Structure formats: structure tokens, C-alpha cells
Amino acid sequence: MKTIVYAGVALIAGIVGFVIYRFGIEPQVQTSVDAAPLPEQPVAAAPAEHAAPDRLPEFTLTDQDGNARSIQSWPGKSLIINFWATWCAPCRREIPLLKRIQDEHEASGFQVVGIAVDFRDDVLKYAQEIGIDYPLLIGEQDGLEAISKFGISAAGFPFSVFTDSQSRIVLTHLGEIDEQEAEILIGAVKQVNEGALTPEAARTVVAKQLAELDHGHDSV
């Protein structure tokens, strides 16, 4: 049964992903970053009902222990919310970096929260195998609905949201994040927390820095 479901998801995702990215319909993310690598298996999110929010929207999913848990469960933390799935290769590659981010930046108020849009048993097995040590929330259709609350009509995996310590959405990022990109994104959130940048200014700064980073990669 799972094989049939996965095949259906992959077929639909492939068609939707091709149309969206082939014809230049950009995801409605809150940074101007458009160079994030496309996931190998993009999946369509549920249609968005609202414009992109300024603050972290409310939604509740099941945690690893089977309890309902709100995304608002970490007040005062700067969240890095990472939507992923076990079948997504870029997501799997990104997880070791997320684990390091949690370890290195927890003391400065950052909290990684993984949201697995996948079958619960598969998520729990994979999380145990690779030792995911940050909180996980798990959902299938309700996981897709959670993505739509960020004001986008379609997205690929991985998809990450960065908030400041006041639960304001500072940045979103579509695609796998590498170490240099993570440094830029986290650095911008820290400046927002310190009052040196507004969320809007942070998005402008990050877009410029990521563009320069991409240009540097192209010139190598």
C-alpha cells in the first residue's frame, strides 16, 4: 500500500514541480533567494489560504512520543523549522548540518524543529537510525497544510523557516542549506534579535550575501 501511495505522490510531485519551476513561477518565500537547489522529489503543498504571514502561524502536529504539540511550544527561541521527508535525498543530506546547528547555536537561543511530512513509522525508524536529537513533529496531509500556512501555494523539500526570538518570520529558504548559507541565515537572525536589523532589512541583506556567495561559487 505504501508503495502505491509513494508512487502517486512522486508522480503528482513531478508534474507540479516541473510546471512550477520550468515556467518561472517562483515560490512565495520571504527572501529573494531563488538559487536554492531544487529537491530531487519536489512535492506540492496544500493551497495557501492567506498571504505570507509576518509572524509564526499556529499549527499542531504529533511529536515523536505521539502527543499533539504546537509549533508555539518554544517561546523566546529563534526557530529553524525544517520541513522534510525520509524519501527526500537533499533532506537527508541536510540533517547532519541541522544537528550541528542545534548543538552550536542552542546556547544563543536557537532551536531546530524538524517537521516530517511522511509516514510516522518511517520517520521514527529513520530518526533513530541517524540519531536526530532535535524535536520532530510528524504529519502527512496535515504536514502539507502546515506548509501552506506560510503563504505559499507550492513548495519542495527541504523547506526551512527562520524566526527571531519574538516569533517573527525573518527568512524562508527552499532547498538544501549548506554551511556557508547557514552562517549567513543564522547571522541575519542574530542581528534581528540584537535590534541591528529589521526582518525586512535582514531579507535584503541575506539576498545580497547569498547572491555574492553564488557568484563566488560560479567563478571558482
If one counts every other C-beta atom within 10 angstroms of the C-beta of residue 10, the result is 14
Q: Give me the pLDDT at residue 154, please.
A: 66
Q: Give me the pLDDT at residue 185, please.
A: 98
Q: Give me the pLDDT at residue 155, please.
A: 65
Q: Give me the pLDDT at residue 194, please.
A: 98
Q: Give me the pLDDT at residue 38, please.
A: 36
Q: Give me the pLDDT at residue 34, please.
A: 35
Helix (H, G, I), strand (E, B) or coil at 11: helix
Identify the DSSP state of 102.
Answer: H
Closest by CA position to 175, among listed 97, 69, 64: 97
Helix (H, G, I), strand (E, B) or coil at 48: coil
Q: Give me the pLDDT at residue 11, please.
A: 37
Q: 41 is written with which cell numbers?
A: 522529489
How far apart (Å, rounded) are the C-alpha atoms in residues 204 and 159? 19
Q: 24 is written with which cell numbers?
A: 518561472
Q: Give me the pLDDT at residue 214, please.
A: 83
Q: Give me the pLDDT at residue 205, please.
A: 97
The 3-class secondary structure across 105-148, one letter per residue, is: HHHHCEEEEEEEECCHHHHHHHHHHHCCCCCEEEECHHHHHHHH
Q: Which residues of the chain have pLDDT under 70?
A: 1-50, 153-155, 216-220
Q: 35 is written with which cell numbers?
A: 538559487
Summarize pLDDT for 191-204 with one digit per residue, the tens: 999 999 999 999 99
Q: Give me the pLDDT at residue 156, please.
A: 87
Judge whether 27 and 43 are in contact, CB under 8 Å: no
How far apart (Å, rounded) are the C-alpha atoms in residues 117 and 31? 23
How far apart (Å, rounded) are the C-alpha atoms in residues 161 and 171? 6
β-partners of residue 151 are none
Architecture per CATH, domain 2-219, reads as 3-Layer(aba) Sandwich (3.40)
Domain locations along the chain: 2-219
Q: Give me the pLDDT at residue 218, please.
A: 58
